Amino acid sequence: MAKMKANVFRGNHDIRVEEVDRPSAGAGEAVIRVTLTTICGTDLHILRGEYPVKPGLIIGHEPVGVIEELGAGVTGYEPGDRVLVGAITPCGQCRACSRWRMSSLSESVPSTAVCSCLMCRARASQMPPP
């Protein structure tokens, strides 16, 4: 499997850039090659231990990037399109949304990573940057 670098939470005040498996797009998903991202207040709360998450979580969720791969059923976008990914736009159908975890901070779906990210229900979660 292809690899990528990601920001991985390991414990309070311990975030590391690590090599992880690159996600692939399933139905209704897109893989985005991240070209720019920012640090969100949520990331700081996680780092400080104020928002409890399990060690190993890939953190960050506000990227800009280029679509590398589209899953079945995603329309209105093409690989190579530049996109801005909304931080908490819920699809209402994926496992994270069904658990009311709409910021994409799930154990199984990486959010923003240094190289790529996987977004659920890509059409609802992306918009072209200005």
The domain 3-127 having CATH identifier 3.90.180.10: the answer here is yes
DSSP 86: -
pLDDT of residue 116: 56
Say if residue 97's pLDDT is above 80: no
pLDDT of 80-91, one tens digit each? 988 887 665 666
pLDDT of residue 92: 61
Query: Where are the chain's structural domains?
Result: 3-127
Mean pLDDT (whole number) for 102-115? 43
Please give the structure tokens belonging to residue 85: 């990914």
Say if residue 10's pLDDT is above 90: yes
pLDDT of 47-63, one tens digit each? 898 988 889 988 877 78
Closest CA to 111 of 92, 96, 98: 96
d(CA 2, CA 110): 15
The pTM score is: 0.72
